[in-house]
């Protein structure tokens, strides 16, 4: 092609391009601008109408997309749920928070969930099991763990009357407590863990609340056969009397008193994302208050708002007795952190249910032996990669230190563990198959009890006394070995032989270091 023809072709294409530009500016661009302007006009008109409608009704357009109602009571462990930060965190997701304080009326709380009047609620595991048993239904399920009491609840008594748990084993003993509360749970756990076979079938004096327990204490004489079961700060108030002491507290029984967040099955099915956001918001604000000084300040402000003010010392003691569960600990309890040494939520439910059945608190397991029916781990599993803040969270746990020989020798006996009578092959330290089965159950109990365990062997007095003494020690050692094989920490159990008394079984003494 000649240069002239190439030049002519270039000019033609330039003319076509120019015509296209002119056409766009004259024809299409105005139409697009009109279209955009029309869209903006319509959007503005819609917003104007919404404002006019809101004004006509006497308000403004809501910042919330939905509302969630949570039922709870005045326990300080729920301070995070009542905090302004929790409500604000939910509002960022368009969720309005509505809290209902039902005064710890657990049957009404479960009924409200079942009828859809309440979306979520807080229960202790034992309260949830008991109310479900009474209802004959499982209308709600656990979606997260909130806290565990590790000393906030205690049995307090006069030192002279009840120096230890064994002293409680008296037909005249009465426990003054608030029914259907962590106090009753703690008492039933103690009865199930220790050999208290002399207690009556109903050793309880039931009063309205912890303040009423304190009033009973004030009206009593030092020699009265009464033990008082309360929670902080009432424990601290009673201990101002130096003649009183803590016989046993909830720190000795891991996973016995645990608060959980529960949602109705119907609400989860219809509003799963809302439940997810509530759990995320709680874990986020719980992380925000992870430092003890901040937590103490929160508890003080929360108590003041509830018209039950606490001093800083009282608030600090309360915070010391409650283990608020963080995100990683929640994941550990549902098995998403298999390396963590925390019990699975299923085993926690089963353990609490067993105590309630043994102590007569319930007549029937509401899950029919399927504790997995009482929790939904899918919400937390969806949060397996969730981090509530920049600092990493760790999975905490109470590790009992290894004792020296001198410390074992000076261990303070607390009480005799409730244990089955073991049978050995005649004249030997060999456990029968029946005894092994009984020890399997005992191993689980000992693992959920934070005491050191002294296994005391015994033997017949007939025959060679020295040989019988060796046999007593060998029987204790055989039991120790078997329990360690079943998971009991080797550092918290020790076998000893005692002078033969004629009994051919072994006993289990629970002890603690002297303060």
Below-70 pLDDT ranges, the chain:
1-61, 339-340, 398, 500-502, 504, 515
Q: What are phi and psi of 326, to 5 degrees?
A: -85, -175
pLDDT of residue 32: 44
pTM of the model: 0.84
Are the beta carbons of 227 and 247 closer than 8 angstroms?
Answer: yes
The per-residue DSSP string of 450-468 comes to -SEEEEEE---SSS-HHHH
Domains defined for the chain, CATH in brackets: 66-149+256-381 (3.40.190.10), 153-251 (3.40.190.10), 405-512 (3.30.1330.60)
Alpha carbon 70 to chain centroid distance?
17
Please state, in angstroms and rounded to a whole number, the distance separating the CA atoms of residues 274 and 95. Answer: 8
Instruction: Please write down the HEC assignment for all residues of 360-425.
Output: CCCCCCCCCCCHHHHECCHHHHCCCCCCCCCCCCCCCCCCCCCCCHHHHHCCEEEEEECCCCCCEC
pLDDT at 505: 76
Q: 10 Å Cβ neighbour count for 43?
A: 10
Residues 6+ apart with CB under 8 A from 398: 150, 251, 254, 450
Closest CA to 245 of 232, 228, 257, 223: 228
Q: What is the pLDDT of residue 15?
A: 67
Provide the pLDDT for residue 57.
Answer: 62
pLDDT in tens, 369-388: 999 999 999 999 999 999 99
Residue 436 confidence (pLDDT): 93
């Amino acid at each position: 092609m000649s240069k002239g023809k190439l030049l002519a072709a270039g000019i033609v294409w330039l003319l076509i391009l120019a015509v296209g530009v002119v056409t766009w500016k004259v024809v299409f661009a105005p139409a697009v601008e009109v279209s955009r302007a029309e869209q903006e006009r319509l959007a503005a008109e819609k917003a104007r109408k919404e404002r006019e409608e809101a004004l006509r009704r006497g308000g403004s357009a809501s910042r919330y997309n939905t509302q969630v109602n949570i039922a709870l009571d005045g326990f300080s462990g729920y301070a995070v749920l009542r905090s302004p930060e929790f409500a604000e965190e939910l509002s960022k997701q368009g969720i309005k928070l509505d809290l209902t304080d039902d005064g710890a009326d657990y049957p009404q709380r479960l009924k409200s969930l079942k009828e859809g009047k309440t979306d979520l609620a807080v229960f202790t595991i034992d309260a949830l099991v008991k109310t479900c048993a009474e209802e004959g239904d499982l209308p709600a399920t656990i979606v997260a763990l909130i806290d565990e009491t590790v000393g906030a609840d205690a049995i307090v008594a006069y030192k002279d009357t009840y120096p230890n748990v064994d002293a409680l084993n008296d037909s005249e003993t009465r426990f003054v407590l608030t029914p259907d509360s962590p106090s009753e749970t703690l008492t039933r756990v103690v009865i199930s863990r220790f050999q208290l076979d002399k207690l009556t079938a109903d050793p309880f004096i039931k009063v309205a609340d912890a303040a009423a327990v304190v009033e009973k204490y004030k009206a009593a004489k030092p020699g009265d056969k009464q033990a008082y079961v309360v929670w902080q700060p009432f424990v601290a108030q009673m201990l101002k009397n130096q003649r009183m002491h803590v016989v046993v507290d909830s720190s000795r029984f891991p996973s016995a008193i645990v608060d959980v967040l529960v949602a109705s099955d119907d609400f989860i099915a219809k509003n799963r994302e809302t439940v997810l956001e509530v759990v995320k918001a709680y874990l986020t604000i719980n992380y925000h208050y992870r430092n003890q000084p901040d937590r103490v300040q929160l508890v003080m402000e929360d108590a003041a708002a509830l018209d039950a003010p606490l001093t800083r010392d009282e608030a600090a003691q309360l915070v010391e007795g409650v283990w608020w569960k963080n995100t990683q600990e929640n994941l550990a309890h549902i098995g998403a952190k298999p390396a963590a040494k925390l019990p699975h939520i299923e085993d926690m439910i089963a353990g609490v249910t067993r105590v309630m059945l043994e102590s007569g608190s319930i007549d029937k397991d509401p899950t029919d032996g399927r504790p997995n029916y009482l929790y939904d781990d899918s919400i937390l599993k969806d949060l397996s990669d969730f981090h509530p803040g920049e600092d990493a969270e760790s999975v905490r746990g109470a590790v009992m230190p290894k004792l020296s020989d001198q410390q074992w020798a000076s261990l303070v006996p607390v009480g005799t563990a409730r244990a089955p009578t073991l049978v050995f092959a005649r004249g030997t330290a060999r456990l029968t198959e029946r005894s092994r089965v009984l020890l399997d159950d005992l191993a689980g109990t000992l693992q959920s009890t934070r005491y050191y365990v002294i296994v005391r062997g015994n033997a017949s007095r007939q025959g060679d006394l020295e040989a019988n003494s060796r046999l007593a020690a060998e029987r204790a050692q055989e039991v120790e070995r078997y329990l360690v094989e079943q998971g009991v920490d080797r550092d918290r159990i020790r076998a000893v032989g005692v002078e033969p008394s004629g009994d051919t079984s072994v006993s289990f003494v629970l002890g603690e270091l002297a303060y």
